[in-house]
Chain A
Amino acid sequence: MDLYEHQARELFAKHGILVPRAEVTASPERAREIARALGGRAVVKAQVKTGGRGKAGGVRLAADPAAAGEAARRILGSDIKGHRVDTVMLAEPVDIEREFYVSYVLDRAAGRFLAVACAEGGTEIEEVAAERPEAVARVPVDPATGVTTATAVRIADAAGLPPQTVDTLVRLWRVLVREDALLVEVNPLVRTADGRTMALDGKVTLDDNALFRQTGWGDERAASADPLEARAAAKGLHYVRLDGEVGVVGNGAGLVMSTLDVVAGCGARPANFLDIGGGASARVMADGLSIVLSDPAVKSVLVNVFGGITACDAVADGIVWALEEIRPTKPIVVRLDGNNAARGRAVLDAHAHPLVEQATTMDGAARRAARLATAA
C-alpha cells in the first residue's frame, strides 16, 4: 500500500526525522488559514500517489495566504496523470542549500534491502540515475544487523553525502523496519541554509501482509474509491477492476492473470481480476460471482477454476446460489477441472440454467465468453 506524502511525512516525524511544518486540507478557505498560520508563504502540494507531480502543475509556491487559497482552488479537483486531487498539503517554505536523494528499496532477487543514495537529489534524480549511474550509490543492507551508525556512514561516504545525513539514514531505516515498509524514499533530503537536515518530500510503501501487527494503520488504509473493489475487499476477495467487458472469476493469482490474458488473446477485454483463493467455499464463489455480475460494464462472465484444494462441486454450488440470489441477465461460461470436477459439472448440468454454459478447456471457455461479450 502506497502512502500519500503527508502520511509519509508523519511517519518520518514519528521516528525523529526533521520535516517542515505542514497541514493537509481539502478546502481552499482552510488552505488560506493554514498559510497564515505558517507565516504567510506556503508551498501548496497536491496529494496524489504518483511521481512527477511538480512538473504536472501539482506544486505551487504561494507568496501570501490569498495566493495559497487560490493555488489550492486550482489544484484541488484537478487531474494529475489520471489521479484526481482530493487534498493538498501546505508546507512552510524552506531555504535549500543542497538537495540529496536517499531510499531503502527491496532487492527482490537478493532477498534483502538496498540503500540507494545520491548527492544530487530533487526532481532530476531519474535522469541522473539513467545518465550517470555511477553517481547513485547502492549499498546492500545485511538483514541481521540493519543500518547502524557505521552502516549509515558507509552509505553516506559511498554517495558523497555530508556527515550530517548519517542520523537521518539510521532513523529512516527505523521507519522501514518498525513500520513494516517495503519502500522508504526521501527526495529531496535537504541541507537548509541554516544548517538543518530535513526531509522535504517522501514516499512510503507499507507491506499489506503486516497489517496484523501494525495496529496504527487504520487511517492510511483508505478504502478503494471503486465501490466494487471496496465491496470485494470487505468480503476478503482479491478483486481489481479493469476496463473491459468479460468478467473473470478464477482460483489462484496465476491462473486468473492467465485467464485475463487468454480472454484478451480472443479479441475481448477482461473487465476485472477476481481470485477466489485456494480452498474457496460455495459462499466465497457466490460472493465473487455476484460482485462481477453487478459490474454494469460486464457483458459475459468466464468462471475458470482448476481445483487443486478447491473443490469444483463447491464452486458449482456457489454459482447456483449466485444465480438464485441475484437472477443475472448475462451469460456465464464455466470451465471446471481438477478436484471434484465431474461432480461440479453434474451440479450445473442438473441446474440447467439457460444463461450458463460449460466448456471443457480454458482456451475454449475464453473464446466462448469473448464471443458472447462482443456479440452482446
Chain B
Amino acid sequence: MAIYLTEESRVLVQGMTGAEGMRHTRRMLAAGTDVVGGVNPRKAGRTVTLDERAVPVFGSVREGIERTGADVTVVFVPPAFAKAAVLEAADAGIGLAVVITEGIPVHDTVAFTAYARSRGTRIIGPNCPGLISPGRSNAGIIPPDITRPGPVGLVSKSGTLTYQLMHELRDTGFSTCVGIGGDPVAGTSHIDCLAAFQDDPDTELIVLIGEIGGDAEERAAAYIRDHVTKPVVAYVAGFTAPEGRTMGHAGAIVSGSSGTARAKKQALEAAGVRVGATPTRAARHVLAVLGGTAHDGALA
C-alpha cells in the first residue's frame, strides 16, 4: 500500500523546465514515477524529452489535471513564486503538493498551508526532499537506488538523515519515506505520517527522525503513546547545538530552554519509543525489533 504515494500516483512537476526540475524529473522517471507532465504557462503546449520520454508541458495545474488525471504535484519553483504555484495547485484541486523549494518566507508558507487545508490539498514540505515509496513511485529528490521496498515507514525533518537511515536499512527496505522538511511551518507533520503509517498494512515499524526546534517531536510522542500500536524507533539530532543559533534548517533552533534535543528524546522515550544515540544505533534498534543485521553495524 504505502502512504500518500503509490504506483497509481500521477505526478505533475511545477518548475519542470528549470535546471533542477529537469534533472530531478529525469531521476523520478528513472525510478518508475508516472510523471504525466510539467507546468509552465510560458511553455504550454510543448513537450520536453527526457531520456527518450516525451513529457507534455501544460499551461496550468488545472489543465494538467484535466488532461492526465494527475493527483500529485511536485513543486520546484523558486521561493519568490512558490506561494502562487501552491495556491494554483490547491485551487485546481490537486490531492497532494510536494514542495521541494528551500527558502520560502514563513508568511507565504502560513498562507498556502492554510489555504491548502481549506481546499483538501495535502502539502508535504516546504524545504523537503519529498517522499518515496520504493519500487512504486518517487516524488521529489530522494535518491531511489539506495534502498528497496520493505516494512519500515520513515518520517523525517532531514533529507540526508533520511538517506543515511535508508542506506543503513537497505536490506530491510521501506514502505514509504517522507521528508516533511526543516522549516518552522510544515504542511505535513510527524503526527500526520504516524497516523498514516499506523493504518498502512505494508508498514510494520515506524522510524521517526527529529531535530531541534519547536515541539513537533514532543507532540508526536504524545500521539504515539495514545494512538500508535506499531513499534516506533526514533533518532533526534542536535544535542550539541548552541542556544539561539539556526543550524542549517530555518526551523532548527533552540530558543531559551525550548526545542532541545534532550527534551525531545525524553518525551519519545517516555512514550515507549526506542531512541538511538546515533543513526547507526537507531538502525540497530530497528533490526532488533524486526530481526536481521545492520550493514554498518560492525563498528570499525
Binding site for B on A (CB under 8 A): 106, 108-109, 111-113, 142-144, 177, 180, 182, 207-210, 212-213, 238, 240, 242, 250-258, 260-265, 269-270, 273, 275, 278, 306-309, 337-339, 359-364, 367-368
Contacts and interface: CB of A to CB of B under 8 A. Distances in A.
A192 to B, nearest CB: 31
B18 interface: no
B288 interface: no
A257 B241 contact: yes
Interface of B: 79-80, 103-107, 109-111, 113-115, 129, 141-143, 146, 156-164, 167, 182, 184-187, 189, 209, 211-216, 219, 235, 237-242, 245-252, 261, 277-280, 296, 299-300
B139 to A, nearest CB: 15
Given A208-B250, A212-B80, A252-B159, A338 B146 contact: yes
A255 B240 contact: no
B184 A258 contact: no
Contacts of A143: 110-111, 114
Contact of A253 (B182, B184, B214): B182
Contacts of B103: 209
A52 B249 CA distance: 28
B79 A258 contact: no
Which 6 pairs, one residue from A and one from B, show the smallest C-beta to C-beta distance?
A254-B158, A253-B248, A252-B160, A364-B300, A255-B160, A254-B161
A83 B239 CA distance: 23
Contact of B141 (A144, A212, A308): A308
Given A180-B107, A261-B239, A364-B300, A308 B163 contact: yes
Contact of A207 (B106, B187, B211): B106
Contacts of B115: 144
Most chain B CB within 10 A, of A209, A254, A260, A361, is at A254
Contacts of A111: 109-110, 113-114, 185-187
18 contacts: A143-B110, A143-B111, A143-B114, A180-B105, A209-B105, A242-B240, A252-B159, A254-B182, A258-B164, A258-B237, A258-B278, A261-B238, A261-B240, A261-B261, A308-B142, A338-B163, A361-B280, A363-B300
Given A240-B247, A255-B158, A309-B141, A109 B215 contact: yes
Contacts of A242: 240, 242
A266 to B, nearest CB: 10
A368 B129 contact: no
A265 B280 CA distance: 13
A226 B219 CA distance: 36
B219 A254 contact: no
A314 B66 CA distance: 42
B279 A361 contact: no
Contacts of B189: 109
A111 B185 CA distance: 5
Given A273-B247, A338-B167, A182 B184 contact: yes
Nearest to B156: A254
Given A108-B185, A112-B110, A253-B211, A260 B241 contact: yes
